Amino acid sequence: MLRSLDRLEELLAAALLAAMTLLTFVQVVLRYVFNSGLVWSLETTVYLFTWLVLLGISGGIRTDSHIAVELVTTRLSAPARQVVAVVAVLLALLYAALMFVGSWALIGRLRDFGSLAHDIPLPRWLLLSALPIGFALLGLRIGQAALGVWKGTRAASHDDEPGSR
């Protein structure tokens, strides 16, 4: 199940990036060659980018490709690094949960108001549903990372990885 989610996440991110690139290219050609343009292209690109960033955050946690600032933790003992990792995971889960709840409330309000996007004939709640979906995925990926650290299949710190130092 999670492998399918991983693959879907990667395919969706690639499709979003391709769509953004193609749409921007078409807009530039229309603007500078034909002195024309698509009214909805900028707003569409912003929504596509929103989806891409929120998928990318969870993907970065999944692949352990996030930026890690370990100035303090590298000076700690292995058990202390584990404690810091647990606290960091709990804070990250709290953040993801708060953002999920807040974005879910926002989506509900937008749906109740029935507001449409400015230049796209779609409801804003649908376009911004990237927020709760992205933060739910983030929570899932943080949980996976925490489970990996707990089981010992994932390092609590980059210094704990084989071949480091």
Is the CB of residue 96 less than 8 Å from the CB of residue 135?
A: yes
Is the CB of residue 139 less than 8 Å from the CB of residue 97?
A: yes
Highest mean pLDDT of the ranges 6-15, 77-86, 156-165: 6-15
pLDDT confidence tier of residue 63, bands split at 50, 70 and 90: confident
Q: What is the pLDDT of residue 162?
A: 45
165 pLDDT exceeds 90?
Answer: no
pLDDT confidence tier of residue 155, bands split at 50, 70 and 90: low
Q: Which residue has the higher pLDDT, 70 or 94?
A: 94
User: If you count DSSP H runs as helices and E runs as strands, how many of each does the chain have, helices first?
Assistant: 5, 0
Mean pLDDT over 130-158 rounds to 83
Four-residue CA torsion sign, 105, 107, 109, 112: negative
Give the contacts of 69 (CB within 8 A, at least 6 positions apart): none
CA atoms within 13 A on the CB side of 8: 6
Q: Label residues 138-154 b or e (16+ Cβ within 10 Å = b).
A: bbbbbeebbeebeeeeb
- Round the average pLDDT of the chain to a whole number and report it: 87
Q: Residue 2: which of 144, 135, 151 has the closest Cα?
A: 144
159 pLDDT exceeds 80?
Answer: no
Q: What is the Cα–Cα distance from 139 to 4, expressed in whole angstroms?
A: 17
Task: Return the C-alpha torsion angle 155, 156, 160, 163, nearest 10.
Answer: 40
Weakest-pLDDT range from 5-9, 33-37, 57-61, 81-85: 81-85
**pTM above 0.85?**
no
User: How far lies 108's CA from each of 2, 93, 101, 111, 122, in Å?
Assistant: 28, 22, 11, 5, 15
Q: What is the Cα–Cα distance from 35 to 30, expressed in whole angstroms?
A: 6
